[in-house]
Amino acid sequence: MSDRDLIIDRYKDLLKTYLKGKSETALYKGQQFSRKLIEQQISPDDVLSDHVSVLHELFPDMSEELKDSFDFLLEVMIGYGFAYREHQSLRTRQR
Amino acid sequence: MSDRDLIIDRYKDLLKTYLKGKSETALYKGQQFSRKLIEQQISPDDVLSDHVSVLHELFPDMSEELKDSFDFLLEVMIGYGFAYREHQSLRTRQR
């Protein structure tokens, strides 16, 4: 299992736990997990893409329109992915 | 109407156009719009938050579980919002 697969699996577990109990603790774990994702240099469009994969699995009956709305958001988020990678490169140059 | 309201309105229009026709052109407009959002220093968590507001309006029958899944994603994306603002500040310092 690749690092990326492990991360998606962990994300799925955290999301499922939140959906089951809707506790503040589970939300807080999501917040902490974002640090880990950022450390791993995973860009925001990749997070969204993983989130959508998990949604397709958890909610297979989701409407086509809703699925399409994610394609649009993903397109918008890709621009942020570029900005994010530029940020990584600026940080590296400053070290 | 504030600049922010105008942006949300434009986002909603672009998303609706995409959902109606699902054309590549409409997706491309989304990609171009992300540049405008970045220029306006709108962070990725704000984009997601606006997207979710538009979804609530377009799909009022969306399940509670699906709504909750967005709360979780938003929590994760807030971490990226911080990184994004740090990026803005690094860029400003480099000028």
Measured CA to CA, the distance from residue A76 to residue B30 in angstroms comes to 5
The Cβ of residue B49 has, within 10 Å, a number of other Cβ atoms equal to 17
ipTM of the complex: 0.89
Which residues contact residue B16 at a Cβ distance below 8 angstroms, ignoring those fewer than 6 apart?
B58
pTM of the predicted model, to two decimals?
A: 0.88
Q: According to the model, what pLDDT value does residue B76 have?
A: 95
pLDDT in tens, A35-92: 989 888 888 999 999 999 999 999 999 999 999 999 999 999 999 888 778 777 777 7
Q: Do A77 and B34 touch (CB under 8 A)?
A: yes
Interface test with A, best of B27, B32, B34 (most A CBs within 10 A): B34
Helix and strand numbers, DSSP H then E, in chain A: 4, 0
pLDDT in tens, B48-86: 999 999 999 999 999 999 999 999 999 999 998 887 787
User: Smallest Cβ distance to B19: which of A47, A69, A91?
Assistant: A69
Q: How many CB pairs under 8 A join A and B?
A: 133
Q: Do A94 and B90 touch (CB under 8 A)?
A: yes
Burial class (CB in 10 A: 0-12, 13-18, 19+), B59: middle
User: Smallest Cβ distance to A80: which of B44, B59, B76?
Assistant: B44
Chain B residue numbers touching A19 (CB-CB < 8 A):
65, 68-69, 72
CB B68 within 8 A of CB A19: yes
Which residues contact residue B92 at a Cβ distance below 8 angstroms, ignoring those fewer than 6 apart?
none
| Amino acid code (one letter) for B36 | K
Measured CA to CA, the distance from residue A90 to residue B15 in angstroms comes to 32
